[in-house]
């Protein structure tokens, strides 16, 4: 059999066997038992056997207590302040995570505290579960095989979901949202499929304990305090997962995207915080087709064990690519050309160097060689590659000497970059169009020879790719002359940047630049003009600044548009700059 076919079939068979076990057991329950459908609602009259909405039980556990293997319970909207102990073979289906709530925060903390426990062959879906606190309790505790946990939202627990079996068996954990917890999903003694879950603000997103052979597929781990994935075994498979962390305090290296000592890690994206954490840390693992970006060190080899199998990965914009490790030539170091990373859209643009650059034996869903990154490989996605304009050129500077102006800027990193267009005007805020175009160049500098005297000149640059797509203009740079032979003043003016990401939830960053020292105030208003927050209120030196607006500090903040405004006062307390922009908060 062809090697690439064996690789694809190996993982597919593993996942197929897990899903087949669920189908066999759950359908056998329908055949072998006389299943009953029961109901729970705050508006029913709570008359056993609870087989209609009119006679629905007023308590979930009360209904469970009269159920038999194979029964299904539908739960209406409401808040149910009770712990749930499910029986084998039970399906418990809530009305939805927005308004069907299990709340156990009022119960005293005990060593075995949990909100919901599952034994075997059970299904739970459609609930929002408030456990206890980030330091205590288990949201859903699984101690038997062949359970399905899907479409739930779990908050305030030490463990969002904990699977702890006495022998390796199968469970499916799919499409859950888990937030404000210490461990998102913890697995021990299991061979489960953990897929399509979103875990936000954990200490550790995914944790793998002893004898865990689970497969982790298409999960999103956002802003962990420590590790996105923390593995202590050698048998897990991680495919197409997204890890994004930011600086949350603590020393260098206290945050790691993936910590592993022998797992198989393919087509993941690990996006870090510059000068802070590690993309991967461990040994003996196999890493292929992954993308590492914005980490202090993308890959750190630690401890004993065998060497890493590290091939066909992309490393971009890391402070250090490797620590205690040297990679082979199959790995690349290119701008990935994502569609919009500031909005968490990590699809590749049409001319990305990551397309068809993965391990040759791993194929994309369309049968072509796999892409590097989040959407490549057999479990990736089919989508149309967009041909987008380049990013605007940055760091435009000017040097003036004897009637000449030397402009410089940073080279664009997109693979399809072609050339630059230089625009000039005597008017501030001018439009970069054919009327103000003065030159084109493939270089990252341009010399403008002055043949007459000017009081002021303003310049902008755009980047053009090979398909003719033109970027938005760079920031405008101003040059003020006293005479043609005098050294002029070069000004990078005051500027308020658009926040990113936008739309956002829960936090966004706002950047601004000061031409000179001054007293700065930066406000956030709602659409009624009421002040929501004062982000900056202090004297600052000239330069670039960035501040975060975090809505978690305002629990009652509604979705919608907000205005942020900057006001700067210069020497003599004279107003020198004011600007405002809109941003969209979505809960």
pTM here? 0.79
Contacts of 20 (CB under 8 A, 6+ apart): none
**Would you state the pLDDT for residue 453?**
80
User: What average pLDDT does the segment 153-172 reach?
Assistant: 89
Would the pLDDT of 571 be above 90?
no
507-514 vs 495-496, strand pairing mode: antiparallel
- Hey, what's the torsion of the CAs at 193, 195, 197, 200, to 10 degrees? 80
**Would you state the pLDDT for residue 323?**
94
Comparing 14 with 305, the larger pLDDT belongs to: 305
In degrees and rounded to multiples of 5, residue 14 shows phi and psi of -60, -45
Query: What whole-number distance in Å separates Cα of residue 320 and Cα of residue 308?
Result: 17
Contact between residue 419 and residue 457 where contact means Cβ atoms under 8 Å apart: no
Is the domain covering 495-585 a CATH 2.60.40.2550 domain? yes
**SS3 of residue 526 by DSSP:** coil
Strand order in the sheet with 404-408: 397-401, 404-408, 445-449
Query: What whole-number distance in Å separates Cα of residue 161 and Cα of residue 192?
Result: 12
Would the pLDDT of 483 be above 80?
no
- Hey, what's the torsion of the CAs at 374, 375, 377, 381, to 10 degrees? 150
User: What average pLDDT does the segment 175-187 reach?
Assistant: 96
Each residue's pLDDT tens digit, 321-356: 999 999 999 999 999 999 998 888 999 999 999 999
Q: pLDDT above 70 covers what percent of the chain?
A: 90
497-514: b or e for each residue (b if 16 or more CB lie within 10 Å)? eebbbbebebbbbbebbb
Residue with tokens 């038992």: 33
Range from 31-45, 175-189, 283-297, 403-417 carrying the lowest mean pLDDT: 31-45
Each residue's pLDDT tens digit, 205-254: 999 988 889 999 999 999 998 999 998 767 899 999 999 987 666 555 56
Asked if 397-492 and 495-585 have one fold, the answer is: yes
Helix (H) or strand (E) holding 492: strand 489-492
Homologous superfamily (CATH) for 397-492: Immunoglobulins (2.60.40.10)
The number of CA neighbours under 13 Å toward the Cβ of 576 is 19
The structural domains of the chain, with segments of one domain joined by +, span: 1-189, 223-385, 397-492, 495-585
Residue closest to 372 by CA, chosen among 340, 342, 337, 344: 337
User: What average pLDDT does the segment 503-509 reach?
Assistant: 86
**SS3 of residue 27 by DSSP:** helix
Query: What whole-number distance in Å separates Cα of residue 261 and Cα of residue 301?
Result: 10
Highest mean pLDDT among 167-171, 306-310, 509-513: 306-310
């Amino acid at each position: 059999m062809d090697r690439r076919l064996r690789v694809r079939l190996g993982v597919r068979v593993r996942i197929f066997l897990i899903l087949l076990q669920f189908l066999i057991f759950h359908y056998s329950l329908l055949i072998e038992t006389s299943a009953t459908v029961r109901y729970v609602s705050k508006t029913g009259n709570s008359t056993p056997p609870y087989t209609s909405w009119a006679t629905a039980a007023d308590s979930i556990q009360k209904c469970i207590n009269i159920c038999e293997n194979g029964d299904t319970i539908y739960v209406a909207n409401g808040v149910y302040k009770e712990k749930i102990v499910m029986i084998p073979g039970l399906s418990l289906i809530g009305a939805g995570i927005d308004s069907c709530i299990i709340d156990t925060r009022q119960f005293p903390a005990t060593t075995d505290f949990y909100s919901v426990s599952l034994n075997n062959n059970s299904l739970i879906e459609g609930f929002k579960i408030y456990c206890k606190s980030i330091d205590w309790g288990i949201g859903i505790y699984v101690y038997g095989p062949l359970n399905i946990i899907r479409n739930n939202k779990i908050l305030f627990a030490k463990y969002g979901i904990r699977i702890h079996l006495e022998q390796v068996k199968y469970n499916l954990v799919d499409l859950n949202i888990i937030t404000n917890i210490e461990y998102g999903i913890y697995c021990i003694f299991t061979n489960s499929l953990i897929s399509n879950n979103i875990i936000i603000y954990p200490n550790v997103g995914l944790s793998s304990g002893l004898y865990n052979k689970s497969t982790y597929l298409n999960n999103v781990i956002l802003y962990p305090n420590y590790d996105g994935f923390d593995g202590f075994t050698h048998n897990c498979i991680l495919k197409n997962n997204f890890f994004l962390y930011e600086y949350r305090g603590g020393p260098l290296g206290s945050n790691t995207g993936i910590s592993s000592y022998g797992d198989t890690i393919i087509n993941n994206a690990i996006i870090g915080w510059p000068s802070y954490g590690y993309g991967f840390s461990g040994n003996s693992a196999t890493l292929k087709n992954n993308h590492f970006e914005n980490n202090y060190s993308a890959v750190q080899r630690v401890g004993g064990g065998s060497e890493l199998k590290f091939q066909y990965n992309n490393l971009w914009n890391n402070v250090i690519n490797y620590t205690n490790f040297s990679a082979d030539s199959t790995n690349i170091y290119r701008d990935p050309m994502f569609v919009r990373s500031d909005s968490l859209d990590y699809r590749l643009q049409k001319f990305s160097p990551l397309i068809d650059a993965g391990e040759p034996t791993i194929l994309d869903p369309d049968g072509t060689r796999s892409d590097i990154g989040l959407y490549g490989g057999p479990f990736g996605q089919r989508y149309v590659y967009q041909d987008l304009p380049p990013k605007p050129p940055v760091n435009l500077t000017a040097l003036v000497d004897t009637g000449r102006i030397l402009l410089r800027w940073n080279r664009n990193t997109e693979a399809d970059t072609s050339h630059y267009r230089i625009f000039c005007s005597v008017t501030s805020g001018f439009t970069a169009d054919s009327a103000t175009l003065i030159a084109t160049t493939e270089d990252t500098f341009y010399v403008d020879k002055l043949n007459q005297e000017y009081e002021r000149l303003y310049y902008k640059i755009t980047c053009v790719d090979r398909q003719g797509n033109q970027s938005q203009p760079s920031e405008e740079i101003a040059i003020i002359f006293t005479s043609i032979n005098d050294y002029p003043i070069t000004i990078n003016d005051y500027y308020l940047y658009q926040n990113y990401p936008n739309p956002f939830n829960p936090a966004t960053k706002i950047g601004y630049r000061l031409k000179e020292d001054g007293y700065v105030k930066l406000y956030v208003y709602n659409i009624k003009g009421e002040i929501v927050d004062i982000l900056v209120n202090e004297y600052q030196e000239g330069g670039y600044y960035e501040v975060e607006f975090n809505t978690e500090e305002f629990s009652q903040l509604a979705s919608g548009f907000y205005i942020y405004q900057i006001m700067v006062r210069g020497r003599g307390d004279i107003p020198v700059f004011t600007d405002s922009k809109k941003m969209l908060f979505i809960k």
